[in-house]
Every structure is written in structure tokens, then in C-alpha cells.
Amino acid sequence: MSTAPISSTAIVPDRGRLNTRTNVITEFWRYRELLYFFAWRDIKVRYRQAVLGAAWAVIQPLLNMVVFAFIFGRLAHMPSNGIPYPLFSYCALVPWTYFSGTLGLASSSLTGNTSLLTKVYFPRILLPAGTVLAGLLDFGIATLLLIAMMIYYHIKVSWLMLLSPLAILLMIVLTLGAGMLMAAMSVKYRDIKYVLPFLIQLMLFATPIIYPSSVVPERFRPFLALNPIWGMVDCFRACLLPNQPFDFKLIGISVGVTFVVFAAGLYYFRKSEKTFADII
């Protein structure tokens, strides 16, 4: 008749608990090809019928940098920790552009794939994760320009640069954590779609991206530490640019907040994913 069963899958009711039967990591591994395909689809689709194609990955942070360099660097004479202002701001704008752009896309990764969610099973986490993965291409292209600028401004190579993969990892963890949270929430609350762009814009100014953290008054610094984006941005600067002030304690808190965001995002996502198909 039939061969021996290969696997046995039990489907148990959702009691609002975490789905413990299916382990996130093993499932993630089993479906890694699909993760790659989702990312590949995002990349393929993003620049189809766009004349400038992947150049957009550079144009956006570059134009931001030019505007900020003019307004803050030239007109306002914003201090920049002894680094030429364009490089100083661009170095932070690269991870920021990745974070803000990817978060926006990740938040709609579930609501934009309704037919997939209601018609086929796969670990739901692959959708925001795929977006996060796909964003890395743009990030890489924007980074090439950053390297070019560092050469142009004669930035010396230092051992600290070897730590930059850790900064990138931090950026991915933060983006994925926030992305899962926003994606899962927007299934239930479409309000996220309206709130998020506004929040992202606010965060650009609330975070020392276009200005150094040194301009933030001492007494506000602890609040700054609660902002995980600050930790991400300052880690990038500390790794890539010479002689950057680095407050281990406060940035440590900020990095800790990043992992809290990730854990919260993962928890909320796993908790609500069973009802996605019912309420989307």
C-alpha cells in the first residue's frame, strides 16, 4: 500500500500559548530555501521596471546625506566629532536607511501576502525575515559608497573595523525584532500602516544620526540609551570612524534594549501567528 510514514504532524488547538511543538530554529532551517526565495522575490520585484534599478539603493541615503550636509553641516555648523560632516552623517544614514526602509516593508510583509497566509502553510516568520534578508542587498550597495567616501576622506584602517560585522548583526537583530512586532501587529491593527511612517520620521530626529550624541545634554543621555537605534548607529560609527566617543555603559543598555525588542517581537509574533489566517 504505502510506504512508512516519513513524518507525523499534529495540529493542536491554539490556547494563546506559544507554539512549542514546532521549534522555531528547526523549522527555520527546514524552510531556509523558502526564506531565500522570499528574499529573492523581494529583490527581483523591487527593481523591475525601474530604470535606475539598484542605483536607488545608493541614491536615497546619498541625497539624504547631501541635504543634511548642506543644512546641518554648512548652515548650522553641526559638530561631527572631528569627522567631515558628510562622512559622519552618511556612516549613520546607511544603517538607518536599512532599518527604516526594511521596517516599513516588513510591517506590511504579512498583510501584503494575504493569499499566501490563507492558502498555504509555511513558517510565517519567513515573510518578515525574507524582507530583512532582501534589504541587505541595498545595504551592501550603500556600504560600497561608504567605503568609497572613507577612502576619499583618508580614513585610516583600524582594528576596530573588524568589529563592524557585529554592528551589522546588531542592525539585523533590531530590524528583524521590530519587523516581526510590526508585521504581527498590523495583521490585527491596520493602524500600524499609518503610524509607522510617522514614527520612523520622528525617530530620525530623535536619534543622533545627523548630529553627534555629544550635543544631547548629559541629563537626557539615559533616555537616549533606551533608544535601540542609537546603539546601532553609534556602534557603526565607533567601528568605522576614528576616535569616536563610546559610552560603554549607555550603549550597552541600548544594545540590551535591542535584544529585548527582538525577544518581544519574536514572542508576540509566535503568539499571534496561529490566528493570522483567521483575522487577516
Give contact residues for other proteins (rule: CB under 8 A). Answer: 1-3, 5-14, 33-34, 37, 41, 44-45, 48-49, 113, 115-122, 188-191, 274-275, 277-279
Least separation in angstroms between CB 191 and other proteins: 4
Minimum CB separation of residue 128 from other proteins in Å reads 16
- CB-nearer residue toward other proteins: 117 or 224: 117
Backbone angles phi, psi at 34, to 5 degrees: -65, -35
Residue 228's nearest CA partner among 178, 184, 277 is: 178
Residue type, 251: I
Asked whether the beta carbons of 137 and 57 are under 8 A apart, the reply is: yes
First to last CA, the chain: 40
Cα 94 from Cα 151, distance rounded (Å): 16
CB of 23 to other proteins, least distance (A): 15
Nearer to other proteins, 135 or 231 (CB): 135
Q: How far is the CB of 122 from other proteins (least distance, A)?
A: 7
Smallest separation, CB 177 to other proteins (Å): 20
Q: Which is nearer to other proteins, 59 or 191 (CB)?
A: 191
* Cβ–Cβ < 8 Å for 190, 252: no
DSSP for 109-153, written as a single string? TTGGGHHHHHH--S-TTHHHHHHHHHHHHHHHHHHHHHHHHHHHT
Dihedral sign of CA atoms 25, 27, 31, 35 in order:
negative
Q: Quick one: how far is CA 148 from the chain centroid?
A: 23
**Cβ 70 to other proteins shortest distance, Å:** 36
**Could you tell me the smallest distance in angstroms from the CB atom of residue 78 to other proteins?**
37
Quick one: 5 or 217, whose CB is closer to other proteins? 5
Q: Cα–Cα distance between 237 and 232 in angstroms, integer?
A: 9
SS3 98: helix
Nearer to other proteins, 234 or 273 (CB): 273
Residue placing its CB nearer to other proteins in the complex, 94 or 126: 126
Closest CB to other proteins among 157 and 279?
279
